[in-house]
Chains A and B, each alone.
Chain A
Amino acid sequence: MRTRMGLAGAAVLVTILTSVAAHGEIRPCPGLGLGSPTFNILLDDLHQTETVKSDPLLADFTTRLRHALRSRLDGLTPSGGVVFEVLQCGGRKPVNASEFDDDALVAGLARSNVVLEVWGVLDGTATGGEIRERRAAITYFVVPVRADRTGAERRRGMFAVAYPKVARSATDFLELFEEAGEIEAYVSLGVGLRKLRDGDTGQAREYLCRAQHLVQKAWGTAPRPGSQEEAFLTYLRAQAARALAAEPGARLVGANAQCPGAEN
């Protein structure tokens, strides 16, 4: 399952991305200001390939997706009084991860309390004028991962996922996102890293443990040894351990204690 997702997903991503412009546009996101009191999720305009542009269900699609994301993120709100805002970034259309290789851009996002930016491409296959086999190549940019300067390795914080994860026919692009359990995981990771940076290690640990559980649940199976997913999980565990190590309670549970439910 993991192998199928990883390789098949990568192949679809390459196919879709080569069919759109090599560079998109990273315009400022309307409504996003410095020092925002909320944790922000940016929802960019998703590219639509020529094949799917005529899909009537794409009218107001970003608004519908925003509603779906807000609804899902409400599930993360109860702990710690954290408030999320999903901002619809009209006209902001990145297509390449390298467009985010700009320290000033990333620093600006971090200052505006952005924990996640969602961008990507919608595509499909047309048969007899009707769109079938809808698919999406979505990249989740977890800004605090890029902003995290601990350790020798700089991390890009980009996580690409191809939908559908397993072959199925979606009648609406929104259906593809119903299986995107990783969204909550990436947001929890982003919040956990921000809390860690701010010295709120107790809450950081809670969010990072939640991120581990949610990402493993979204994947469904343990990551393959040597895979990107395994490396990501290792990173997550290390951050959760960092948070715990700063807490007096670490003396009781052991500094290397795994998050409950994520021991394997």
Chain B
Amino acid sequence: MSVRMIAFAVVATVAAVWARPVEAGRQTVCLQPEAFSGAAVNTAVLQYLYDGPAGKRLSATAQRLSRLIQLDTLLSLLKHESIGVLHLEIPPGSESQCPAARVTEMLLGRRPGGQPVSPGHALVLVGGRMYEEQGQIYVQSRLEFRRRDRPEELRLTVPDAAGRAITFTAGLPSQTIAFPPRRLTADDLKKIEANFAAAAVVRPHPSDTVPGKPLDVPSLEEFAYWVTDTKPGGWMKIQSQGSGPSGWVRAQIDPGLRARMPELLLVDGLVGYLRYRMDREGPRVGLPAQPPALVRDTLAQYLKREASNTASEPVALAHSLDATLRILETGPADRVTVPVEARQGLTRVTALIPYNPGAWGLRAIADVQACCGPGGTTARWEEVANTFLKALAAGPRDAVALANLEALYVLLSATPPSTPIAAAEIQRRLQEVRAVRAAIRGR
């Protein structure tokens, strides 16, 4: 059997989730991408595109980089439970038919072809470009994530004076991110590959002292594996779907690849974030997600690595995920509050990407409780309104900012005003926002 892709599924309650385990061995190419329908989060690594001069080819080592990324992703995501990791191969000559946006659409069921993720389940697509010159490999990654049929948003509810709940909603600043280019040497990659191969030994029992067979990276290109069980200490039991060895492997991440491509840490944190949100909001799949504090630790590691870089958008995303988790951790959906650390994090986001309307919108809704909720006295309503207006100054048609601004004035108009002038001003502003929304709808 010539299966040129590897597909992994990591599940704890295998029988319940994987009704058709043979799916794990199905060939998946970008033209017909096939997700694991039972996995809570599918992480798809779309083969990195070669961006060099015509007639030149990537070295064998560089060609295997996207598989190393997949292997790192698999091993690091094991802890999150109920994860599918795919490698989507781009057949020669099909590059123009497999842009990341189109593959994402197919995997989300918005475009025919392949097997999409299940409704409410999440997709993380990683891909990028690669170029090689004189032993140096330049690689640039791109990340996109979505939950199928579900917006990625934060909802905060604030009661007005009459006890009616006023809801504020904002999304993350961006769900498609390009990372800065990285430079690796061929020697770096060979070492990383060797470390993975040395660590990945298939043993009959979950113990380092039991002799086993190596599961080297080249052999991974030939087989598909299905993970049937896990044990503490990072052990996973793999079942070969081809002629490869089956048994126990200890998931050990080689730090070398993450040191050179810190974006893998962000992917790790993002998957933890998505798993946590699915646990809270459904559909629940498999065992509970990791506690958000551990996910935030991974995001903090990413932020530490990127501290000296100029990667504004990815760093802003990491801060946004961290702040959202901090808010969600405070309670059930209708009773979350906003810790000071979350507000500080979102202020950093607007400093990093002040041109992004979504960044201002997210920061503003996090400030609403502080100005206008019960006992909220640490912010003035005018400041919060101005933050929403900054979202509109950057993106004048930002529908989310307009809806939130209207909600803010509705909330304030039901609150006893500090002065008659303030009451009149709030009414004037409320009418104006409604007029602008109507004008935009009428266009």
Are A and B a genuine interacting pair, yes or no?
A: yes
| Chain A residues packing against B (C-beta within 8 Å) | 60, 63-64, 66-68, 70-72, 74-75, 77-79, 81, 181, 201-202, 205-206, 209-210, 212-213, 244, 247-253, 257-262
**Which residues of B, 344-397, contact A by the 8 Å Cβ criterion?**
350-351, 353-355, 357, 360, 389-390, 392-397
Instruction: Please determine whether B394 and A209 come into contact, CB atoms closer than 8 angstroms.
Output: yes
Instruction: Please determine whether A72 and B394 come into contact, CB atoms closer than 8 angstroms.
Output: no
CA distance A75 to B353 in the complex (A): 12
**Which residues of B, 230-277, contact A by the 8 Å Cβ criterion?**
none
Q: Which residues from chain B contact A247 at a C-beta distance below 8 Å?
A: 396-397
CA distance A252 to B351 in the complex (A): 22
Q: Taking A78-B174, A252-B433 as contacts, is the C-beta distance between A260 and B394 under 8 angstroms?
A: yes
Chain-A contact segment, one of B69-77, B176-184, B282-290: B176-184
**Which residues of B, 390-426, contact A by the 8 Å Cβ criterion?**
390, 392-398, 402, 405
Instruction: Please determine whether A259 and B440 come into contact, CB atoms closer than 8 angstroms.
Output: no
Asked whether B140 is an interface residue with its Cβ less than 8 Å from the other chain, the reply is yes
| Chain B residues packing against A (C-beta within 8 Å) | 51-53, 101, 129, 131, 133, 138, 140, 142, 174-178, 180-181, 310, 313, 350-351, 353-355, 357, 360, 389-390, 392-398, 402, 405, 432-433, 435-436, 439-440, 443
22 A–B pairs (Cβ distance < 8 Å), ordered by A: A64-B138, A66-B51, A67-B129, A67-B131, A71-B178, A71-B181, A75-B178, A77-B178, A78-B177, A205-B394, A206-B355, A209-B354, A209-B355, A248-B435, A249-B402, A252-B389, A252-B405, A258-B393, A261-B350, A261-B354, A261-B355, A262-B354
Instruction: Please determine whether A249 and B436 come into contact, CB atoms closer than 8 angstroms.
Output: yes
CA distance A244 to B394 in the complex (A): 9
Specify the chain A residue showing the minimal Cβ separation from B357. A206
Indicate which residue in A72, A205, A261, A262 contacts B181 across the interface (CB closer than 8 Å). Answer: A72
CA distance A66 to B350 in the complex (A): 31
Q: Which residues from chain B contact A250 at a C-beta distance below 8 Å?
A: 396
Q: Taking A77-B178, A253-B389, A260-B354 as contacts, is the C-beta distance between A67 and B394 under 8 angstroms?
A: no
Q: Do most interface residues of chain A lie in helix, strand or loop, or is the interface mixed?
A: helix
A21 to chain B, nearest CB (A): 26
Indicate which residue in B133, B360, B396 contacts A244 across the interface (CB closer than 8 Å). Answer: B396
Specify the chain B residue showing the minimal Cβ separation from A77. B178
Indicate which residue in A67, A210, A212 contacts B51 across the interface (CB closer than 8 Å). Answer: A67
Specify the chain B residue showing the minimal Cβ separation from A204. B396
Sort A-B residue pairs by CB-CB distance and give the 9 closest, nearest first.
A261-B354, A249-B396, A247-B396, A71-B140, A78-B176, A248-B439, A74-B178, A202-B397, A210-B355
CA distance A210 to B353 in the complex (A): 8
Instruction: Please determine whether B133 and A260 come into contact, CB atoms closer than 8 angstroms.
Output: no
Instruction: Please determine whether A206 and B395 come into contact, CB atoms closer than 8 angstroms.
Output: yes
Instruction: Please determine whether B354 and A259 come into contact, CB atoms closer than 8 angstroms.
Output: yes
CA distance A206 to B173 in the complex (A): 13
Q: Taking A202-B397, A213-B354, A261-B355 as contacts, is the C-beta distance between A63 and B52 under 8 angstroms?
A: yes
Instruction: Please determine whether A77 and B176 come into contact, CB atoms closer than 8 angstroms.
Output: yes
CA distance A50 to B360 in the complex (A): 52
CA distance A81 to B105 in the complex (A): 13
CA distance A52 to B389 in the complex (A): 52
Q: Which residues from chain B contact A248 at a C-beta distance below 8 Å?
A: 396, 435-436, 439-440, 443
Q: Which residues from chain A contact B392 at a C-beta distance below 8 Å?
A: 249, 252-253
Specify the chain B residue showing the minimal Cβ separation from A66. B51
CA distance A244 to B436 in the complex (A): 13
Q: Taking A202-B397, A206-B394, A257-B393 as contacts, is the C-beta distance between A251 and B432 under 8 angstroms?
A: yes
Instruction: Please determine whether B133 and A60 come into contact, CB atoms closer than 8 angstroms.
Output: yes
Q: Which residues from chain A contact B313 at a C-beta distance below 8 Å?
A: 75, 78
Instruction: Please determine whether A260 and B355 come into contact, CB atoms closer than 8 angstroms.
Output: yes
Instruction: Please determine whether A70 and B142 come into contact, CB atoms closer than 8 angstroms.
Output: no
Q: Which residues from chain A contact B360 at a C-beta distance below 8 Å?
A: 260
A110 to chain B, nearest CB (A): 25
CA distance A81 to B100 in the complex (A): 12
CA distance A249 to B440 in the complex (A): 8
Q: Taking A213-B355, A249-B402 as contacts, is the C-beta distance between A60 and B394 under 8 angstroms?
A: no
CA distance A205 to B356 in the complex (A): 11
Instruction: Please determine whether B52 and A67 come into contact, CB atoms closer than 8 angstroms.
Output: yes
B1 to chain A, nearest CB (A): 36
Specify the chain A residue showing the minimal Cβ separation from B402. A249
Instruction: Please determine whether B131 and A64 come into contact, CB atoms closer than 8 angstroms.
Output: yes
